[in-house]
Amino acid sequence: MSELSELIKINRNIERQNEEIIRLLKVIANEDEVEDDFVEEIEDEVEEEVDSIEFVNEIGCVHFIDGVDIFNITIKNNEKTINNLTGECETTNFDLAEFVANESIKRNQMLPDATVILDEENSQNLPEKLKICVERGAERAFLPLYSMSQLVGAPPLLMTVLKVDYYRSPEELAEKLFK
């Protein structure tokens, strides 16, 4: 589990503990305004542990997002393999990732550590997509330039934890990745 995942988990635990302390203090003070929603939330909450993904760096391997899942595409001996690393669904939206994987092979270079590529189609609801990247252990994301305006509402912590870079075209993306 990455340091960020650990910090997020610790922060959530501290928040829950503080809310529980406040609730108990209200009970002790005989306040009838005990937050029933909070009690139900705690009882019903079954928090899933989000596992980090091992962003294996090898030539011809690219991690990308489609929907809410992280995939990787690996090209070896002119055969491509696509794996869903976080779910069960399949993807047909891998053209950009395939282009980058082929560039990786052509240039005989690996992508930078813990890098995720987002294409134009998957740069909608960007703060949520970047949150998925961070929770899964990504450290760097490449996004289409036009999606920059969506990050105005993103949590500041997200932007300090994840290095974000922008590209205008697939060719510019390849140049930035393999400089």
pLDDT on residue 51? 63
pLDDT on residue 56? 76
Instruction: Give the domain CATH number at 121.
Output: 3.30.230.10
Angle formed at CA 175 by CA 168 and CA 128, multiple of 5 degrees: 50
Of the candidates 174, 60, 175, the one whose C-alpha atom is nearest the C-alpha of residue 108 is 60
The predicted-structure confidence for 36-70, as pLDDT tens digits, reads as follows 444 444 334 334 445 677 777 789 999 999 988 99
The separation between CA 131 and the C-alpha centre of its own chain, rounded to angstroms, equals: 5
In a domain, 35, yes or no: yes
Amino acid at 49: E
Residue 89 has pLDDT above 80, yes or no: yes
The per-residue pLDDT of the chain, averaged, comes to 80
Instruction: List own/partner pairs for 73-81 with CB under 8 A and 24 or more apart.
Output: 73/97, 73/98, 73/101, 74/101, 75/101, 75/102, 75/105
In a domain, 51, yes or no: no
Residues 29 and 71 in one domain: no
pLDDT on residue 102? 95
The predicted-structure confidence for 24-38, as pLDDT tens digits, reads as follows 777 776 654 444 444
Residues 165 and 128 in one domain: yes
pLDDT on residue 103? 95
Domain limits at 20?
Answer: 3-44
Higher pLDDT, 79 or 1: 79
Mean pLDDT of the 98-116 span: 93
Number of domains in the chain: 2
The predicted-structure confidence for 64-84, as pLDDT tens digits, reads as follows 999 889 999 999 998 999 999
Are the C-beta atoms of 141 and 119 separated by less than 8 Å? Answer: no
Residues 79 and 153 in one domain: yes
DSSP strands (E only) in the chain:
61-66, 69-76, 79-84, 115-117, 140-144, 163-167
What strand order describes the sheet that includes 115-117? 79-84, 69-76, 61-66, 115-117, 140-144, 163-167
Residues 123 and 77 in one domain: yes
Global pTM reads 0.69
Least confident stretch, 6-10, 120-124, 171-175: 6-10
pLDDT on residue 112? 87
The predicted-structure confidence for 144-167, as pLDDT tens digits, reads as follows 998 888 777 667 777 778 899 999
